[in-house]
Amino acid sequence: MSVFHSIPKSFGYAIAGIKTAIKNEPNFRVHMMAGIAASGLGLFLGLNTTEWAILILTIVVVVVLELINTAIEAIVNLVSPQLQEAARVAKDTSAAAVLLSALGAVAVGVFLFLPKIFWLQSLLGLSTPIPTSVAVTNTVTPLVVAENLDTPWEIAFLEGGDMMITERRGKLTRIGRDKTTYDIKGAKETGEGGLLGLALKDNQVYLYLTTVNNVNQVVRYDFSGDQLTNEKIIVDNIPAGQNHNGGRLKFGPDGALYVTTGETGKSSLAQDKNSLAGKILRVVNERVEIYSYGHRNPQGLAWDTEGNLWATEHGRSGVQSGYDELNIIKQGANYGWPAIEGDKSAPNMESPVINSGPTTTWAPAGMAYLDGNLYFAGLRGETLYQYSIVTHKLTEHLQGVYGRLRAVSVGPDGYLYASTSNNDGRGTPKSGDDKILKIDPKSLQP
Residue numbers annotated as active site? 66
User: What number of helices (H) and strands (E) belong to the chain?
Assistant: 5, 25
Q: CA triplet 186, 155, 310: central angle to 5 degrees?
A: 105
Q: CA triplet 175, 178, 182: central angle to 5 degrees?
A: 60
Whether the Cβ atoms of residue 222 and residue 203 lie closer than 8 Å to each other:
yes
Of residues 187, 183, 162, 155, the one with CA closest to residue 171: 183
Report the DSSP pairing between strands 394-397 and 134-137. parallel
Q: Is 344 exposed, middle or buried (0-12, 13-18, 19+ CB in 10 A)?
A: buried
Whether the Cβ atoms of residue 338 and residue 270 lie closer than 8 Å to each other:
yes
Measured CA distances, 88 to 75, 102, 133 (Å): 9, 21, 62
Beta carbons within 10 angstroms of residue 11's beta carbon: 10
Whether the Cβ atoms of residue 197 and residue 249 lie closer than 8 Å to each other:
yes
For residues 164 and 162, what is the distance between their CA atoms, to the nearest angstrom? 7
Beta carbons within 10 angstroms of residue 332's beta carbon: 9
The distance of Cα 174 from the centroid of its chain, to the nearest Å, equals: 34
Which residues on neighbouring strands pair with residue 284, listed in sequence order? 287
Q: Is 133 exposed, middle or buried (0-12, 13-18, 19+ CB in 10 A)?
A: exposed
| Ranges of H-type helices in 77-204 | 81-113, 118-123
SS3 content of the chain, % helix, strand, coil (to 5): 25, 30, 40
Q: What is the DSSP letter of 444?
A: G
For residues 446 and 440, what is the distance between their CA atoms, to the nearest angstrom? 13
Instruction: Say how many CA atoms lie within 13 Å of 42 toward its Cβ.
Output: 22
